[in-house]
Structure 1
C-alpha cells in the first residue's frame, strides 16, 4: 500500500499529521499545512487509502481499523514521537479511534467538524454527493457544477485547472471522482450505529489536550452535537468558525489555521 503525502515546515519541528475527510484529498490541507509549516511545525498531509494518489485497497479493506493502521505506519515512517493529530470528518474519526483505543499516543488532538454525534441529513448529503455520476463527467464544467451544488456558499473558481486534483481522467475519456468507488460499499462490517458507539466510547478515554473546530454553517456537526461532545470531554476547547460549512479549512483557512496554531503554541510550542 503506497500512501501519497505532502510536507511543510521544519522536519525537526513538532509533527502535525493532517487527515482529510471522505471524498477529499491531502490538497484540502494545503493552506493549513503552509501556515503550520511557517509557524515552525512539521506538517504532513496524506491521501487516505482509496483517495487521491494513494493506492486503492481490496473492497473489504477500507474499514476504520485499516485506516488507523495506515496512520500509525505514516507516523512511524516519519519518526514522530507523540504527534499532533488534526482530522476532518473521516480523518477525525480515525484520529479519535487511534487515540481513544490507545493505538497511538499523541500530544494533542484537533477534531474538525466531527464528533460522535452528527446529523443524519448532513451525512446523507455527503453520500449522495459521492455517489453521483458513477459513469463519469464529460467535462470539468460538469464537475464544477456538481461541486457548486454541494457547496453553494463557496464562489465558483474562475479557472477549472484546480479541479483536476478532485478527479481522474479515465481511459474512457471521462472525469471520475478521485476515490475508489468500492470504498463506499466495502468499508467494514461495522454499521453506522456501531461506529458512532465506538467513537463515543473512544471520546470517553480522551485525556490529552483537545480542540473541537466546528463550521458555523455545517449541516453535519450541529451546535447540539458539538455541545454534546464538550459535555462528554469537558477539558476540550471549542472554536466555532462562522461562514464555514463542513469543510472548514477549505472555507475559512485563515480563521481555522490561526485557531489551531494559537492552541498548539500553548500546548505543544515550537522550540
Structure 2
C-alpha cells in the first residue's frame, strides 16, 4: 500500500498559529446550541482542532492536519446538516482563506494539491473514528461504550470535503485510500454519516477511471444494495449513487446480475 512521509510537517508552526488565530476568534463568537439528544458539543470538538501557542509541541504534522480538518468541517457545513448548520458564513469564509494560506505556506500550488499530499495521513484516522461508532452485533461486547455519534458525523463531513478537493486524474491514485473509508461511512447507522459517504462516492465515480474501480466494484455495489432500505430521507441519495455507480462499473456488461439486484 502506498505511504507518504508526513506532508503536513512541511508547514511551519508559526505560520499555523498565525493562520489559526482569526479562526479561533470566529468560532468562539459563533452562537451554538447542541441539537436535542446530542451527547457531545460539535463546537468544542472543532475548537480543539485549532493549534494554540499554549499547547506543548505535538508530533510533527499533527497541528497542520488538525487545522485542515477544522477547515474541512467548516467548509462542509450546510443549513441542512443537523450537526454543522450553526456554522456562520463569516467562519466559512475565514476557513476558505485559511486553506489557501496553508497551501501557500507549505509550498503547494493549490489547495487540492495540498489535500492530495496530506490525505494518506489524514484519512485512516477518520475511517477509524467512523468505524468505532458503528454497530457490529457480531463483535461488539454487550454494554461496550461507543464514541458519541457526533464524532463520526464530523469525521464523515471532513472526509467528504477532502475527497471533493481532488479531481480526475489524481483521485484515481488514491482509490486504495478513499474507497475503504467511503465504504465504512456507508456501513454506519447514522443517516448523516451515510449521506456523506454517498456524496463522496458520487465524486469518486465521476473522477476516476472505470478500471480503477474494478477491484472494489462488488463491495461498492453490495453496499448500495444494503442501503436501498435506508431512511426515507436518504432515498433520493441512494437512487442517485446506486444508478451512477452501477452504470459506471457495469457499462460494458449489460447482462450483469447487479442490474437485477439494484433495480428490481
Structure having the larger proportion of residues in strand: 1
State the TM-score, normalizing by the size of structure 1.
0.29
Structure having the larger proportion of residues in helix: 2
Bigger radius of gyration: 2
Tell which has more relative contact order, 1 or 2 (C-alpha 8 A, sep 6+).
Answer: 1
